[in-house]
Amino acid sequence: MDTLLGWLHAMAWAVYVGGALTMEWVLRYAQREMPGPQVGVVCKNAGMRYRWLALACLAVIGVTGAWMLLRLDEAGLLARPGAPMLSLSDSYGRTVLLLTAAWGLLLATVAFMAFVLHPAQRKRSKPEMTKDEVAAERQRVGRAISRMDKALKFELLLAVVSVGIGASLHAGGLI
């Protein structure tokens, strides 16, 4: 059971963080050579799929992480190198809390991107719109794309930092 939980937890982190890095490194690079309208189609399609995948991964990370935490017992912890404790007076406990906070922030960021920023990028143009209204709509979409870009960079950085925080747990914690 512990192996299965650990595997699911690690898989979900890997798919989430590796997917985010691939989207940034691979898709962004490929987009440079593509015509504008097709960049829009690919971004919309890949972005939507990736958001749902990321949300599913973060849900699995949360459930398996909480389950593993509940299965931790004092004897098991004492057997680990450095005999860590699940308490705020110990570095291990504080690092677990920090990782939980980072997970919460990641979940909030991905949800914000999926339900607010992604829909905001859709152009709402109607034939009866005036030139000024069309220009204003373009500006609004431009701002939404720029906000999405910033959110993506923040998410990527936080995800990579979270892997580092998680890796430190094997050595007894970070803070």
Partner 1 sequence: MPDDPDIWLHIIYGFLHDISIAVYLGGAVAMEFVLGPAQAAIPPAQAQVMGQKTADRFLWLVWGSLSLILVTGFLRLEHMGMAMWHWPFFQTPGGLSESYGRTLLGMILLWCVLAINGALITWYFRPRLQGKLGTQTSAAHVTAAQTAKMAAATWVQRLTRIDLVVAVVIALMGASLKWGGLI
Q: What is the dihedral of CA 120, 156, 55, 71, to 10 degrees?
A: -150
Task: Give the shortest CB-139-to-partner 1 separation in angstroms.
Answer: 27
**93 contributes a contact to partner 1 by CB under 8 A:** no
From 7-15, 97-105, 106-114, 147-155, span contacting partner 1 (CB under 8 A): 7-15
Q: How many whole angstroms separate alpha carbon 48 and alpha carbon 52?
A: 7
Residue 99 in the binding site for partner 1 (CB under 8 A)? no
Amino acid, single-letter form, for residue 163: V
Q: Is 89 in the site for partner 1 (CB under 8 A)?
A: no
Among the candidate windows 16-24, 112-120, 128-136, 147-155, which touches partner 1 by CB under 8 A?
A: 16-24
Using a 10 angstrom Cβ sphere, with 0-12 exposed, 13-18 middle and 19 or more buried, the burial of residue 96 is: buried
Number of residues engaging partner 1 in binding (CB under 8 A): 47
Residue 96 within binding range of partner 1, rule CB under 8 A: no
Question: Please, what is the minimum distance in Å from the beta carbon of residue 16 to partner 1?
Answer: 7
Residue among 8 and 105 whose Cβ is closer to partner 1: 8
In the bound state with partner 1, the residue whose beta carbon lies nearer, of 57 and 117, is 57
Distance CA 38, CA 22 (A): 19
Site string for partner 1, 41-80 (x = CB under 8 A): xx--xx--xx--x---------------------------
Number of residues assigned to the chain? 175
Q: Tell me the DSSP string of 33-102.
A: TS-HHHHHHHHHHHHHHHHHHHHHHHHHHHHHHHHHHHH--HHHHHTSTT---SSTTSHHHHHHHHHHHH
Closest to partner 1 by CB, 100 or 168: 168
